[in-house]
Structure 1
Amino acid sequence: MAFIASSSLSLPKVLLILNYTRSLYPGILLGIFLIAFITFGIINSPHDGDKITVHSMQGPGGRPLPTRRKSNNQIKEAVSTKDFSPRAKTAFAILTSGVILTFVLNGVATLIQVITYRSVDWWPGQSAILFIVGSFFCWGIVFISVIDTTPSPTWVHILTWSFALPFELVILGSALDIYTQPHNEPTVGDQLGGELRNDITAWEVFEVIVYFIRVIIILGLIILYTALKIAARKTRDTSSTPDETTQPLLGGTDASPRSNGHANGHTYGATHGSTPHSKEQPDAWAKPTETPIVTWYAYLKGFAVLLPYLWPRKSLKLQALALSCFCLMAAQRAINLLVPIYSGKITDALSGEDGNGIRAPWIIITLYILFRWLQGGQGILGAARSILWVPVEQYSYRAISTAAFEHVHSLSAEFHTGKRTGELISALNKGSAINSFLEMVTFNVGPMIFDLVVAIVYLTYKFDIYLALVVAIVTFLYIYVTIRLAAWRVTLRRNYTTADREMEAVKNDSLHSWDTVKYFNAEAYEFDRYRDSIKTMQGFEFFVEITLALMNTVQGTLFMVALLSVSFIEAFQVAKGYQSVGNFVTLLIYMAQLQAPLNFFGTFYRAIQNNLINAERMLELFKEQPNVTDKPTATDLQDCQGDIVFDHVNFSYDKRQPALKDFSFHCAPGTTTALVGESGGGKTTVMRLLFRYYNPTTGQIRIDNHDVSDITIDSLRRNIGVVPQDCNMFNESILYNLRYANQNATDEQIYSACRAASIHDRILQFADGYETKVGERGVKLSGGERQRVAIARTILKDPKITLLDEATAALDTETEEKIQDALRTLAKGRTMLIIAHRLSTIVEADQILVLSGGTVVERGTHSDLIELNGKYARMWRKQSRAQKAAVEADMLRKQAQRTEEAAGIDSASVSEEEMERVKGKRGGSGSGKGHKRVNFSQSSLGRTPAWNMSIDGGRPEGHP
């Protein structure tokens, strides 16, 4: 300021400096702020070090998967350490609003002067108007960022303020230099052509004072920011606990009791210092309970991970179609500019204002109609683009849906045991949402923004800066209001989407469990539950529609204000002879064209927001990562012999309760090991660990002296066959379900496997034989039939290791004997691991392990464990009594039938009475003396002689 005031520059040169500075100031300041703001968003987006990652994790096709971010609490704590306190933020907001107020004062003073000195055509010049309006707009954006972003203010703001200060000093110095020496008042078209002034006027004094106040406020912003940052740094350097005197002006510090200065590395984001009773991890794929806290860049980057699935990089044809669509889109942009221009030319030609007299412009009209034919989404170019984009869109949907489907199948068992199938299916159906999002951004929002930028440039070139400034300001306000109102509605939209998904989940779960509904006569309950879920969804939908109408009203009002402003300006210029009537028509048509995309921006933004909310669930699904994966150095298991070793294995589904504790055993190749014990003892866990559904916490599991973690999961599971207790089947034919075990199996091989499983003859009795549909999960088959099909599938797979989980639990005695013969054949040369509750089925096992509480409490052969007279022997005696009771009950029923035939009395009442008598006998001393005895033999699989057992449950003769 002092330099300019004391310089020897002439008045016209000083005025030129002032005009250039005021004209460039808003644009330069806005550009600096936007570039810094975008850079800040990119720099401060979560980096790999801030994420909870699983190393070397890849999705289908080897593409990288999104990684889990920090939890919301962690992000809030991290932000609180960088942000200012609410009191300090309020101070910054007040000072920034003070800067905006100074521009308002400048504008009001200018407007009053224009009205007061209208008779002498007083006008401050275009640069002054641009400076006031543009700076007000620019500082308004800075103010919005201060109150809307977190953390704020940041180095983005201090950089903006630091650049604004020298501009303001130059403007203040130039104004003083002009006003303090003789000068002419500015008039329309001539800044030095008005009345001569020998000294500074009251209006100029007011203007200089406002300039000076603005400089002081900006300087105060810089000083306050610097002082608080220095104070915060000193506080962190001197103490880990913030001083009470500095705490009100500073944000949170690293001394937060829940923050220890580094990110939590647990896969599921468990907080540090959790109590022993805290849950180790949330339920699999749990829905977030709060809105995610991420930066705009991190949000978009999350979806950018899905781009490799959507771009047809392996198809040159599809790439050529996509590029053709982009070229057509560019042509549409040019057509949008030509249509209003040719409308103005037609008007000028018909009115004679083009200098060629009144005439009919046939060629111009023809071109205008041609451009209209090509223009818009309903035009030829739009239709061609839509047709060409269909194969690309289909590829994108196919790729993302298939990738999500493959990814779900690649997830570990803990995900599948905790998921809700209905909600999962709903999320998988959202593949089109991501595709729609990308298409809308590419072909709707992107072109709209391009059209707005072109409009500002064209209006500046064709008309003047005032129209461009009005369009720029209103466009920003329109977009900002739309985003703010949409952000206000996002919770409602999210709740509506969640309620809609919950409604779908209720419907799917109910229909999926239809048999359970009928077992408990719960149809009315399910109807009410579904009806309530619809009411909840519609309640959120009601408020969504109301807020939508409000947003449309606000948007329309803003654009009408813009249209009114530009129409007044252009009408004045036409009346003064500065512009032609054709230009006025061009302006109106062009503004109408801009209104369409702006009106649709609300629709686009809502649709994009809706698609993003829908796609968020699929993106979260992609972020779910399997815990059981192949090591990079894993090798295939070749020539499996079936040697199994569990070496001091510990495992827990939840740290609060171990499932296996120091569990060890060895199963030699070709031998059979049985696992028995009470429910929850860890038997099924052993099979799950062996099949690598889970990894052990500590210890080793070895196959043929290879750690299973060093073997590829696929090769390990190829050598293991499983006969589960509950056999799920596809709703296809029996032949399809059988061939599922071996896709290359011949029909004769399938028949042989079914004969070995004693199911072949039963299948032939069905009306459609092997083509019989089994229903959902195989419900059309009985439990025994399903288990025999499962056994046949395992026989068809021909594995070296076979896992049987209560494989004969649902079979009758006669069928069980046939299955045992088949399993004995299957066991030859193979390693068998059997879970059994019916002990009669495992008496031939080479080794029996008795599990309790996740540990082996007894081990040995059947004879060894009976002689041990421990837990296994007690289980054997209990089952023996139950089997003897069943034998006698059968005998009593037959006797009751004979008595009924002879005497005509109720067999059921006799049977119950007789059974009560038998129960009374079983409650005796157990010595067997004086009681009726029946002969009871073991299953045909037993290797020891049959024993003569007493009805009262006495011990086997010859055994303790």
Structure 2
Amino acid sequence: MRRMSAAPAEIPAGPQATPEPRSDAATLKRLLPYLWPYRWRVAAALTFLVAAKLTNLGVPLLLKQLVDSLSLSNTDPKALLVVPAGLLVAYAALRLGTSVFTELRELVFAKATHGAARQIALEVFQHLHALSLRFHLERQTGGMTRDIERGTRALQSLVSYSLYTIVPTAVELLLALVLLGSAYDMGFVWITLAALAAYVAFTVTVTEWRTQFRRRMNELDSKAHSRAIDALLNYETVKYFNNEAFEAQRYDQGLDAYRKAQIQSQTSLSLLNTGQQLIIALSLLAMLWRATTGVVEGRLTLGDLVMINALLIQLYIPMNFLGVLYREIKQSLADLDKMFGLLEREREVADAAGAAALQVQGATVRFEEVSFAYDPARPILQGLSFEVPAGKTVAVVGASGAGKSTLARLLYRFYDVSGGRITIDGQDIRSVTQDSLRRHIGIVPQDTVLFNDTVAYNIGYGRTGASQAEIEAAAQAARIHDFIVAQPKGYDTVVGERGLKLSGGEKQRVAIARTLLKNPPIMIFDEATSALDSANERAIQGELRSASVGKTTLVIAHRLSTVVDAHEILVMDAGQIVERGAHASLLARGGRYARMWALQNSAENGSDGAAAVPNEGR
């Protein structure tokens, strides 16, 4: 719609502040409903997890038996051959069993992980389409898409880290402590618990401290990404003003700030890893010293020493990554929280409870004492009242900023009125569903934005499921069929990002074809032919008049020559109607419309228009 993005003065700052980050527990609670449908898969995965850890715990025990069976004190040749061979087979079977149970766990739970991620991503996508126009005018596309991407990935990372690493490590630690305490003495248990407590305390403290660097790094990443996307989307504008170097400099500034944040994050990570390794090394030294002393004193066998060493290695290898895992889980929770924040963003315009579908008989549109302001300090419409009778055409003209395009926004219910009401066949549009309302309205905007897809797709978007013959008929009515078939790929021609491969007139004709294909009972033409040459404009004006027959039509125009056939013309100024009537009666009145008409005619005829508009300054 005309000047939607060209009138920033009409668009205030968003009414909703950035929400405060929720706690990790609240984020997990918010995530639970998405995993609940897969609870049986979770139970099965946990069963396989415990089975994998039990078989894994059997490996050190078998190593002990294997080493002890090879003791030189055993002089039975058969025992020296048979027993170790059997233990080796059992050892291999346990290793295989661990891998099998681990893979079964991942296979069983994969559907839950990907299914929940898909559901959340779909809900966010649908919710973003349900948010108001104000939100989408204020958003930063690059940063928002990055938030969604990170949030979706965070769910998979969170489940993967917790179910595949944290929980297995906890289970294995518990089993190891039980084994050490029951088979040996509690000294081994106390050393392990002390090391674990020191490790966890150090990891949590340092990770909490360095989270600020990771958060800052992500913010700078989103900012740099937003700048890059914005510059690429506005490629032509960058070229028009020779600002390639300027955009590259802005992007490089973002990348440099991101690099510095990365270095801070890496430095703090190195500190974390060094401290963790120091704690693990000291605990290993204490455990092995105690075990070695036991062997020397005869309380433990050489197999016991091997078993304790293997058990500690199995236990501490995953703990090496605990700091990384904790950091990633915290970051995943933060990313999920940000995506949930998008999902919970309140809809400024929402269907009323129990809203019914719009029932259209004649499609009479009425604006009844409508008031509206994007910002309370700057009213746009002030007690506006008019009617577009069923099957008739009403045109709205006036200077820029008079509020003409706001009428279309309100009729589409992109915003709700501040006062008064808008009705269609007597039904307040706030009492019907937005979906049914918009199904009955079609618009040809001045600024046409197309999908980066084929011409056929963009025309067919007016009514998904339309046949190729119907698409071509709409293109012929919009006088663009001949141009399309002249292209090497015909209707399969890709129009490029936002339709940049097409000229302004070609894009506008695609928009006209799209709306003609939709064929709604209410039509809005917002400078529908402004990008066309005079010959095509006259031809398409005829097509639009034909398409408007029997339909309720609102025409927003700047060129008065395009509205002379309207049943009624409204002249707007400062959000109010200052004149109304048919073309001939308005000219005869000699008021503002007559002066606008004279000024445009004189401009088209090459005159300065001074004689034609002597009272323009009154």
Q: Normalising to structure 1: TM-score of the pair?
A: 0.59
* Structure 1 position 359, deviation (Å): 4.3
* Structure 1 position 577, deviation (Å): 4.2
Residue by residue, what CA displacement relative to the aligned partner does 1:732-754 show, whole Å, maximum 9, x if unpaired?
22222111112333333333323
1:411 aligns with 2:134: no
Query: Counterparts of 2:246 and 2:23 in 1: how far apart (Å)?
Result: 44
Over 3 Å counting, the alpha-carbon distance change for 1:760 and 1:285 in structure 2 is: farther
Letter in 2 for 1:816: E
Over 3 Å counting, the alpha-carbon distance change for 1:724 and 1:478 in structure 2 is: same
Residue by residue, what CA displacement relative to the aligned partner does 1:891-918 show, whole Å, maximum 9, x if unpaired?
xxxxxxxxxxxxxxxxxxxxxxxxxxx6
Query: Counterparts of 1:507 and 1:414 in 2: how far apart (Å)?
Result: 23
Letter in 1 for 2:213: L
RMSD, aligned α-carbons: 3.0
Query: Counterparts of 1:812 and 1:280 in 2: how far apart (Å)?
Result: 32
Residue by residue, what CA displacement relative to the aligned partner does 1:874-929 show, whole Å, maximum 9, x if unpaired?
322222221221xxxxxxxxxxxxxxxxxxxxxxxxxxxxxxxx65xx55xx3xxx
What residue in structure 2 maps to residue 794 of structure 1? 515
Structure 1 contact 721–797 (Cα < 8 Å) conserved: yes
Decide which of 64, 81, 103 is 1:344's aligned counterpart.
Answer: 64
When Rg is computed on C-alpha atoms for both structures, the one with the higher figure is 1
Query: Counterparts of 1:426 and 1:342 in 2: how far apart (Å)?
Result: 49
SS at 2:336 equivalent:
helix
Letter in 1 for 2:95: R
Letter in 2 for 1:519: Y
Query: Counterparts of 2:115 and 2:435 in 1: how far apart (Å)?
Result: 29
Letter in 1 for 2:50: A
Query: Counterparts of 1:441 and 1:510 in 2: how far apart (Å)?
Result: 39
Query: Counterparts of 1:328 and 1:594 in 2: how far apart (Å)?
Result: 19
Decide which of 454, 463, 467 is 1:742's aligned counterpart.
Answer: 463
Over 3 Å counting, the alpha-carbon distance change for 1:819 and 1:280 in structure 2 is: closer
Structure 2 contact 363–424 (Cα < 8 Å) conserved: yes
* Structure 1 position 842, deviation (Å): 1.2
Over 3 Å counting, the alpha-carbon distance change for 1:884 and 1:305 in structure 2 is: farther
* Structure 1 position 820, deviation (Å): 1.8
Describe how 1:613-692 pairs up with structure 2 within 5 A. 613-692=334-413
* Structure 1 position 688, deviation (Å): 0.9
What residue in structure 2 maps to residue 118 of structure 1? none
Decide which of 537, 541, 547 is 1:826's aligned counterpart.
Answer: 547
What residue in structure 1 maps to residue 90 of structure 2? 367
Query: Counterparts of 2:514 and 2:38 in 1: how far apart (Å)?
Result: 39
Letter in 2 for 1:368: Y
SS at 1:742 equivalent:
coil
Structure 2 contact 113–159 (Cα < 8 Å) conserved: no
Query: Counterparts of 2:472 and 2:131 in 1: how far apart (Å)?
Result: 34
- Counting matched residue pairs gives 604
What residue in structure 1 maps to residue 583 of structure 2? 862
Describe how 1:69-148 pairs up with structure 2 within 5 A. none
Describe how 1:410-489 pairs up with structure 2 within 5 A. 410-430=130-150, 431-489=152-210
Give unmatched runs, 5+ long, in structure 1: 1-278, 314-318, 886-917, 927-951, 956-960
Over 3 Å counting, the alpha-carbon distance change for 1:830 and 1:489 in structure 2 is: same
* Structure 1 position 808, deviation (Å): 1.4
* Structure 1 position 325, deviation (Å): 3.8
1:594 aligns with 2:315: yes
* Structure 1 position 760, deviation (Å): 2.6
Structure 2 contact 211–327 (Cα < 8 Å) conserved: no
Query: Counterparts of 2:113 and 2:21 in 1: how far apart (Å)?
Result: 31
* Structure 1 position 568, deviation (Å): 3.7
Query: Counterparts of 1:373 and 1:767 in 2: how far apart (Å)?
Result: 59
Letter in 1 for 2:102: G
Describe how 1:201-212 pairs up with structure 2 within 5 A. none
* Structure 1 position 280, deviation (Å): 11
* Structure 1 position 722, deviation (Å): 0.7
Query: Counterparts of 1:732 and 1:681 in 2: how far apart (Å)?
Result: 35
Over 3 Å counting, the alpha-carbon distance change for 1:456 and 1:286 in structure 2 is: same
* Structure 1 position 397, deviation (Å): 4.0
Describe how 1:53-68 pairs up with structure 2 within 5 A. none
Query: Counterparts of 2:74 and 2:385 in 1: how far apart (Å)?
Result: 98
What residue in structure 1 maps to residue 212 of structure 2? 491
* Structure 1 position 293, deviation (Å): 5.3
Task: Among all aligned residue pairs of Structure 1 and Structure 2, give the percentage whose two residues are the same amino acid.
Answer: 35
* Structure 1 position 401, deviation (Å): 2.9
1:558 aligns with 2:279: yes
Give unmatched runs, 5+ long, in structure 2: 1-9
Describe how 1:676-825 pairs up with structure 2 within 5 A. 676-825=397-546
Letter in 1 for 2:309: L
Structure 1 contact 663–855 (Cα < 8 Å) conserved: yes
Residue by residue, what CA displacement relative to the aligned partner does 1:104-153 show, whole Å, maximum 9, x if unpaired?
xxxxxxxxxxxxxxxxxxxxxxxxxxxxxxxxxxxxxxxxxxxxxxxxxx
Which gives a bigger RCO, structure 1 or 2 (Cα 8 Å, sep 6+)? 2
* Structure 1 position 562, deviation (Å): 2.0
SS at 1:484 equivalent:
helix
Query: Counterparts of 2:106 and 2:26 in 1: how far apart (Å)?
Result: 31
Query: Counterparts of 1:380 and 1:352 in 2: how far apart (Å)?
Result: 36
| More displaced stretch, 640-649 vs 566-575 | 566-575
Over 3 Å counting, the alpha-carbon distance change for 1:833 and 1:353 in structure 2 is: farther
What residue in structure 2 maps to residue 941 of structure 1? none
Query: Counterparts of 1:499 and 1:816 in 2: how far apart (Å)?
Result: 48
What residue in structure 2 maps to residue 189 of structure 1? none
